[in-house]
Amino acid sequence: MGWKETAEPVLTRMPTVQRPEGHVPFKRKLTWTAGVLVLYFFLTNVTLYGVNTSTDLFGQFRSLLAGAQGSVLHLGIGPIVTASIVLQLLGGADLLGLDTNDPRDQVLYQGLQKLLVVVMICLTGLPMVFVGGFFQPEQALAAALGSTMAVQWLIFGQIFVGAILILFMDEIVSKWGVGSGIGLFIIAGVSQSLVGGFISPGMEGQTGIIPQWIAIITGSAQNVPSLLTGEGIQFLLFDGGSLLALATTLFIFAIVVYAESVRVEIPLSHARVKGARGRFPVKLIYASVLPMILVRALQANIQFLGRILDSQLGGLPAWLGNYSGGQPTSGFFYYLAPIQQPGDWMWWAGGPAATHEAWQVLLRVAVDLGFMVVGGAIFAIFWVETTDMGPEATAKQIQNSGMQIPGFRQNTGVIEKVMERYIPQVTVLGGALVGLLAVMANMLGTIGAVSGTGLLLTVSITYKLYEEIAEEQLMEMHPMMREMFGG
């Protein structure tokens, strides 16, 4: 008896959101999507009961993980993404033996993913609450309940419920709404930071670029140096005027939209319907930007492990790293920490990098760049293969639709060979390009201190959401188009 037969009774009974039996009208899809979005914003503002103070372990990855510190959604989409990494690696090594085209294996795959998410919630939340001491329980409540451990279990229970809610909210959007829940939550979190970076009045110590420039122009800004000096230029480019962050943000928007439109179009014609022609587009960012979530989540888990080890061992060996203020300052974990802002690598500008030698900073930049470029290419390949976007799966889809490539025999093997000329190369190139853009955006800074990966994801997901909404509207206007799009 294989593992599938052994695990089937458990995996097939995992709670799931039922798929709609028929067509869901576009307005109802928008209603479900908007309802889940409102619930998400509500939950990010529900603080954990029984917590006095909390340390944000994922502060530098917060916009990417779509959670909120100290709320019931403290873990965000982290467990879902980590479970996806595990499944990607297992699937890429062909250790699961699951055929996603088989309905039975699809149910097992979805059940296995949910089970892994529950495991990851426990592996992430339990050390955070009980081992790391990153949540300080309220002593008054601990005295009332009889022990501090009771409060810790209460805190973990709230985190667990919040993570499970995000899992099913994602499933509701995927089956009953527009787009995916994970993408929607990332857009919501990053957009909130972007809007704050533009118009925040400075009530929480961060003034938006628009109020800041109004203050500079009207002369009411404080401690503004002469703009003709080197100090004045630095003021305009960085913290004061934020011109470099604005230029980087606009550049990333433009380059991602442009990259989404760059494609190789393979001509297609219908084998039996004369004159019926089409094109199969192989976009430059063929695997989308979503594999970047997996790369950054892997980095976040490595940093999380370092923080846990440091807090429990009372310090790490020098080669592993030293911590100050919860951030690595040397060693292995320092070089694997991603660059998040210009001050992390501009050692001459007096930021955090000024305490390190130039070669140490450059080595950290090189490691981060290599990790993102190579990791982006590898995870893009895994993503394409596990989502049936590879040459073999694409050839079968084209063959089943009755289309063929003009000048070639109508054969799956022939179509696959043609696809192999483009898809693998474009996948690697697109994944590496996205990794390069993410690091560059972090190094130059963005409006609202949004991470480069978060900004890339937001632009790309928004673009694809626009395309999906346009497709939904087209099918709503012409019901017969639903058959062409699969229903």
pLDDT by residue, tens only, the chain of 487 residues: 577 778 878 888 888 888 888 778 888 888 999 999 999 999 988 999 988 877 776 666 676 778 888 889 988 888 888 888 788 777 766 677 777 667 777 888 888 889 999 999 999 888 888 876 678 888 888 888 888 889 999 999 999 999 999 999 999 998 898 888 888 888 888 888 888 888 877 655 567 788 888 888 887 777 777 766 767 777 777 766 688 888 888 888 888 888 888 888 888 877 666 666 778 888 888 887 778 878 888 888 888 888 888 877 777 888 888 888 778 888 899 999 888 888 888 887 777 888 888 899 999 999 999 999 999 999 888 888 877 788 888 888 888 777 778 877 777 888 888 888 888 899 999 899 989 988 888 888 888 778 777 888 888 888 888 888 887 777 666 555 455 445 4
The neighbour count for residue 66, using CB atoms within 10 Å, is: 30
- Full DSSP string of 61-96: GHHHHT--TTBTTSSTTHHHHHHHHHHHHHHHTT-S
Return the closest-CA partner of residue 156 out of 69, 249, 51.
51
Q: Are 408 and 418 in contact (CB under 8 A)?
A: yes
Pick the CATH number of 3-14+25-183 from 1.10.540.10, 1.10.1740.10, 1.10.3370.10, 1.20.58.1180: 1.10.3370.10
d(CA 313, CA 467) in angstroms, rounded, equals 51
Nearest residue to 376 (alpha-carbon basis) of 260, 473, 261, 456: 456
pLDDT of residue 57: 66
pLDDT for 113: 87
- Alpha-carbon span 79 to 120, nearest angstrom: 5
CATH numeric code, 244-461? 1.10.3370.10
Cα dihedral 199, 201, 207, 212 sign: positive
CA 392 to chain centre: 27
Q: What is the pTM of this model?
A: 0.77
Give the whole-angstrom CA distance, residue 358 versus residue 438. 22
Instruction: State the pLDDT at residue 202.
Output: 61
Distance CA 71, CA 45 (A): 6
What pLDDT was estimated at residue 450? 81
Phi/psi at 346 (5° precision) = -85, 80
pLDDT value at residue 484? 47
Residues of the chain with CATH 1.10.3370.10: 3-14+25-183, 244-461
